[in-house]
Structure 1
Amino acid sequence: MYSIIKHIHLLSVAISISLFVLRGSWMLLDSHWLKKQWILRITYLVDTCLLASAVALCVLIQQYPGIHHWLSAKVLALLLYIVLGSMALKRGRTKKQRALALLAALLCVAYIIGTALTHNPLSWFS
């Protein structure tokens, strides 16, 4: 069961990041595709699978945010990623603000991946 959920989680991560990069590219290019409803629905579906599989993995491996520092760091970075992603795709006032938020959000993703791989809040610097 663990292996299946982990694979679902990793696939969801890959699809979610890919969709975010694609949507960020569309934002930079002022593409009409950014506002298509079916793309937003796919994004919500993938992110729901990602969150559900993350919660299931926490329960299965019995490691929880607030208790395990690496997982707490991941959750905090995820919250920052969500805020930055929102600024990048729709809430940034200027294209420059949105582009900087996109870059910062992608740096958050790199940190989250490093923390997940090392199980250390120092991420790639551990």
Structure 2
Amino acid sequence: MVLYAPLLFLLVLVGVQFALWALAQLGVQYAANHALQTTRVSGGTAAAGRADAAAVLDQVAGQVVVDPRVSVTRNPDTATVAVAGRVPAVVPFLRLQVTTEVSAPTERFRALTLSLTSPSPAGEGDPR
């Protein structure tokens, strides 16, 4: 029993460490997706995306993500958000990282072009 108790304790600590890692990974993914939507909309900016990622990460992941790093880029075609950080260590000497990167096309509105052709007369065209 004396030999199994430390192993059981270590197994519990590894389980808690894995749960913290999973929560931190979900937090950075959610923050990155939320910031991407803020960045990619028409009129969105990289600065707004960074601020949004920091706010969401603080609300969702709080103390689960240590030393968060957010990188946001936006060009005329694509917006990209990368969020990374560390997980607090429960198991000694185990330093886990969480990271995610998401990208999507930026929104652009195009002018609506109307066709000036006349519609087909009744009885012609589609036989429905």
TM above 0.5, yes or no, is: no
Structure 2 length-normalised TM: 0.37
Structure 1 length-normalised TM: 0.38
- Which structure: larger Rg? 2
Q: Which has the higher strand share?
A: 2
Q: Which has the higher contact order (CA 8 A, sep 6+)?
A: 2
Q: Which has the higher helix share?
A: 1
